[in-house]
């Protein structure tokens, strides 16, 4: 609840107590921003009070409005539209509130830590556009939660074992001729991804006779010699075969080197790394515990399952007949290890909505196993990202590679920035850094401004535009404000110190002030809803409000020194708030462009 809402809530409580001897619950209060077609600043929904008043919505609103105007100093007027009480507030109240806004200051950390798992790639291919949406969502969530006073643990789980890993290993072993990142000039993750595609191509060739014999394609690729060799390699790995494990370690090290470079370019980091190869054994031991307790059951072929039909699902495999684990096995082990290590309030998995079923199953398994933290497992489910050409498929090599996309964004940013003449006075090194900042700003904002639950279509050309609802537009607004600061400094204009709250506010100033005051409540709302999109759209609202303020009002050419000083204070606070909002999205705010 904001400071204004708290003051009004107290006034409403007084009215209810005096008129009806009634005590109000906070849940009965509903404040809204007054719609632009009506006069007022904040709206109270009066429907919850009509039964107590014994009146219709409009008479109830009239009664409450008159009481608040008479008894709450900051209420200057009101009007009622059906069941909505629109209140007008003293402009000085907003100015006093905004003068106390310090957007850079995070709330003090309190409570148990909050674990956020994101990125979590397979080590058989490079990162692609789908991973980028995941990484940016997870990174922004961590930033927002931390700024809102939560101790955040950034987690990454490397899916570094399994049949998909063995496919890359086997293809490199059979067809790689000793190729390395150094000999090929490829990043390690790109080299491994190359052989994941090679495996799929060779396996399809081996499947052709089976398909010609009338076997379905999906079934045919499982009957090839290559598939049998990959399965045997997985069995050898799980048995600790020395040569197989050595090959696995060498190829994984190549991948990690490549991933780390991409993470660096995206500006993300992790507090704790987990490896499926280190947690799947714990998962297997817990499966045995579940068997002993009757939570799981074993089929005649030796595979282990759980019956979730009573929970509205079906039967779920947790261990294969040959004793090898599946994804859910290692997730059981990883979740257990985390909660054994950290006394956390929750673990959030940032994973696409294609895995909704998987995480329902995981939570139910942990509940059936009697783990007290089962309800604290949360799936942050987000929509898939697609290209104009359709869905991406790693094994067919039809993905947008993350590194290629970053290069393209930086190249496009450089072209647009040079064409607009926005690098005057910058050295070449400074210009290259600006191109990176703008390219990443465009990419991150485009992906984060959309409601995470929605599927989205990515268009690089739209994202890099310097006008409209784009990252570069927000960054340019910040750079414009930074230029104002530099000019004020060069002209020895001091706008530090206390604000003059008695000076009347222009309508454009008041609108900007109201937008600035939304920052703190929206950070709290974004943390509660786990939605970076709320802050992305707020950043656009703030930037457009400031540009309207800048267009309508003079700053340096204002004759009244007190007014000029206050407008510089408003500009400075807007720049700081915009920079902090972008920071919560993982976007850097340039000082010049």
- For residues 480 and 569, state if they share a domain: yes
Residue 372, domain CATH: 3.40.50.620
Asked if residue 462 is part of any domain, the answer here is: yes
- For residues 540 and 560, state if they share a domain: yes
**Residue where one domain finishes, among candidates 203, 237, 268:** 268
- For residues 326 and 364, state if they share a domain: yes
Residue 513, domain CATH: 1.10.730.10
Asked if residue 418 is part of any domain, the answer here is: no
- For residues 362 and 501, state if they share a domain: no
Per DSSP, helices labelled H in 267-348 are 276-293, 327-341
pTM assigned to the model: 0.91
- For residues 344 and 229, state if they share a domain: no
- Each residue's pLDDT tens digit in the chain (593 positions)? 788 999 999 999 999 999 998 887 777 899 999 999 999 999 999 999 998 889 999 999 999 999 999 999 999 999 999 999 999 999 999 999 999 999 999 999 989 999 999 999 999 999 999 899 999 999 999 999 999 999 999 999 999 988 999 999 999 999 999 999 999 999 999 999 999 999 999 999 999 999 999 999 999 999 999 999 999 999 899 899 999 999 999 999 999 999 999 999 999 999 999 999 999 999 999 999 999 999 999 999 999 999 999 999 999 999 999 888 888 999 999 999 999 999 999 999 999 999 999 999 999 999 999 999 999 999 999 998 876 654 434 444 457 889 999 999 999 899 988 888 878 888 999 999 999 999 999 999 999 999 999 988 877 777 777 778 999 999 999 999 999 999 999 999 999 989 998 899 999 999 999 999 999 999 999 999 999 999 999 999 999 999 999 999 999 988 899 999 999 999 999 999 999 999 999 999 999 88
Asked if residue 65 is part of any domain, the answer here is: yes
- For residues 66 and 127, state if they share a domain: no
Give the C-alpha separation, 379 to 352, whole Å.
9
- For residues 141 and 277, state if they share a domain: yes
- For residues 192 and 172, state if they share a domain: yes
Asked if residue 431 is part of any domain, the answer here is: no
Sequential DSSP letters for 124-139: TS--BHHHHHHHHHHH
First-to-last alpha carbon distance for the chain, in angstroms, is 38
Asked if residue 208 is part of any domain, the answer here is: yes
* Nearest partner of 251 among 315, 332, 312, 190, judged by Cα: 190
In DSSP terms, which residues pair with 215 in a beta bridge?
none
**Residue where one domain finishes, among candidates 268, 296, 312:** 268
Q: Other C-beta atoms within 10 Å of 21: how many?
A: 8
Asked if residue 378 is part of any domain, the answer here is: yes
- For residues 152 and 284, state if they share a domain: yes
- Name the domain count of the chain: 4
**Whole-number CA gyration radius for the chain:** 29
Asked if residue 142 is part of any domain, the answer here is: yes
**Residue where one domain finishes, among candidates 252, 268, 284:** 268
Residue 48, domain CATH: 3.30.1360.70
**Residue span of the structural domain in which 465 resides:** 443-584
- For residues 139 and 53, state if they share a domain: no
Residue 253 makes CB contacts below 8 A (sequence gap 6+) with: 188
Asked if residue 216 is part of any domain, the answer here is: yes
- For residues 45 and 123, state if they share a domain: no
């Amino acid at each position: 609840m904001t400071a204004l809402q708290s003051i009004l809530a107290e006034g409403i409580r007084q009215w209810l107590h005096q008129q009806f001897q009634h005590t109000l619950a906070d849940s009965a209060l509903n404040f809204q921003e007054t719609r632009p077609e009506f006069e007022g600043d904040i709206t109270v929904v009066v429907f919850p009070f009509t039964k107590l008043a014994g009146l219709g919505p409009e008479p109830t609103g009239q009664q409450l409005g008159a009481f608040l105007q008479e008894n709450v100093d900051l209420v200057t007027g009101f009007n009622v539209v059906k069941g909505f009480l629109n209140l007008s507030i003293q402009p000085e109240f907003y100015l006093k509130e905004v003068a106390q806004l310090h957007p850079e200051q995070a709330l003090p950390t309190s409570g148990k830590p909050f674990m956020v798992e994101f990125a979590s790639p397979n080590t058989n291919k490079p990162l692609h556009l789908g991973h980028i949406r995941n990484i940016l969502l997870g990174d922004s969530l961590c930033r927002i939660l931390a700024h809102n006073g939560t101790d955040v643990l950034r987690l990454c789980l490397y899916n570094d074992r399994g049949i998909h890993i063995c496919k890359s290993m086997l293809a490199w072993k059979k067809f790689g001729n000793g190729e390395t990142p150094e000999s090929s000039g490829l990043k390690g993750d790109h080299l491994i991804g190359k052989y994941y595609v090679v495996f799929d191509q060779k396996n399809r060739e081996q499947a052709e006779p089976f398909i010609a014999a009338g076997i379905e394609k999906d079934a045919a690729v499982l009957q090839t010699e290559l598939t049998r060799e990959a399965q045997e390699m997985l069995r050898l790995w799980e048995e600790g075969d020395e040569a197989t494990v050595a090959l696995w370690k060498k190829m994984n090290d190549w991948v990690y080197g490549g991933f780390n470079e991409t993470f660096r370019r995206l500006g993300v980091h992790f507090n704790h790394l987990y490896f499926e190869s280190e947690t799947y054994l714990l998962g297997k031991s817990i499966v045995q515990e579940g068997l002993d307790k009757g939570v799981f059951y074993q089929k005649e072929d030796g595979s282990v399952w759980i019956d979730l039909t009573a929970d509205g699902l079906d039967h779920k495999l947790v261990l294969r007949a040959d004793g090898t684990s599946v994804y859910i096995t290692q997730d059981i082990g990883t979740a257990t290890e985390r909660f054994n290590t950290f006394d956390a309030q929750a673990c959030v998995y940032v994973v696409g909505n294609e895995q909704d079923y998987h995480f329902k199953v995981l939570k139910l398994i942990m509940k059936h196993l009697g783990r007290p933290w089962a309800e604290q497992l949360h799936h942050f489910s987000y929509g898939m990202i697609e290209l104009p050409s359709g869905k991406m498929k790693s094994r067919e090599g039809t993905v947008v590679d993350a590194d290629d996309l970053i290069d393209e964004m930086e190249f496009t940013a450089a072209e647009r920035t040079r064409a607009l003449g926005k690098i005057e006075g910058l050295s070449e090194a400074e210009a290259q850094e600006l191109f990176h900042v703008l390219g990443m700003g465009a990419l991150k904002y485009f992906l984060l401004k959309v409601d995470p639950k929605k599927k989205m279509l990515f268009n690089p050309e739209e994202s890099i535009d310097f006008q409209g609802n784009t990252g570069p537009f927000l960054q340019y607004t910040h750079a414009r404000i930074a230029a104002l600061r530099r000019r004020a400094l060069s002209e020895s204009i001091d706008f530090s110190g206390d604000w003059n709250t008695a000076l009347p506010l222009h309508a454009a100033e008041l609108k900007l002030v109201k937008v600035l005051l939304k920052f703190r409540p929206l950070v709290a709302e974004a943390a509660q809803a786990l939605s970076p999109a709320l802050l992305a759209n707020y950043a656009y609202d703030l930037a457009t409000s400031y540009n309207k303020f800048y267009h309508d009002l003079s700053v340096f050419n204002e004759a009244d020194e007190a007014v000029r000083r206050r407008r510089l204070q408003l500009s400075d606070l807007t720049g700081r708030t915009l920079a902090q909002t972008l920071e919560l999205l993982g976007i850097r705010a340039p000082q010049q462009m």
